[in-house]
Structure 1
Amino acid sequence: MVTRRYAVNLIYNGVQATGEISPYLNSFTYTDALDESDTVSLNLTDREGRWAAGWIPQKEDRLSAEIAAENWNGGKEQKRISCGDFMVDDFRFSGPPDKLSISGISSPLNLDFKETRRYQTWAEATLFQIASEIAGRYGLECVFEGADIPVVKTEQSGQADGDFLKKTAEKYGFGMKTYSGRIILFEYALYESKAAEKTIRKSDVRKWDYKSTMLGTYTGAKVSYTNPGTKETVEILVGKEGRLYKTNEKADNVADAERIGQNALRNANRKETTFSASLLPGTELYAGENVNLSGFGKMDGRYQIGKVIHQVGTGDYSLQVSGWRLPEEAADEPKEDGQGTAGQGTYVVQSGDTLWDLSERFYGSPELYGRLYQANRKVIEREAKRRGKADSRNGYWIFPGTELEVPEG
Structure 2
Amino acid sequence: MSDTVTDELWRSVTPQVIGALVRRYRDFDRAEEAAQEALLAAAAQWPAQGVPDDPKAWLIRVASRRLIDGLRSDESRARRELADATRAPADDLVAPPPDAVGAPGQDDSLTLLLLCCHPSLTPPARLALTLRAVGGLTTAEIARTHLVPEATMAQRISRAKQRIRESGAEFRMPPPDDLPARMSEVLHVLYLVFTEGHTASSGERLHRVDLTAEAIRLTRQVHALLPDDGEVAGLLALMLLTEARRPARTNPAGELVPLAEQDRSLWDTAYIQEGVALVTDALTRTRLGPYQVQAAIAAVHDEAQTAADTDWKQVLALYGVLGQLAPGPVVSLNRAVALAMVEGPAAGLAVLDDLALDKRLARHHRLHAVRAHLLDLAGDTESARESYLLASRLTTSIPEQDHLRRKGEAL
User: How high is the TM-score relative to the length of structure 1?
Assistant: 0.27
Q: Return the structure number with greater relative CO, CA threshold 8 A, min gap 6.
A: 1
Higher helix fraction (1 or 2): 2
Higher strand fraction (1 or 2): 1
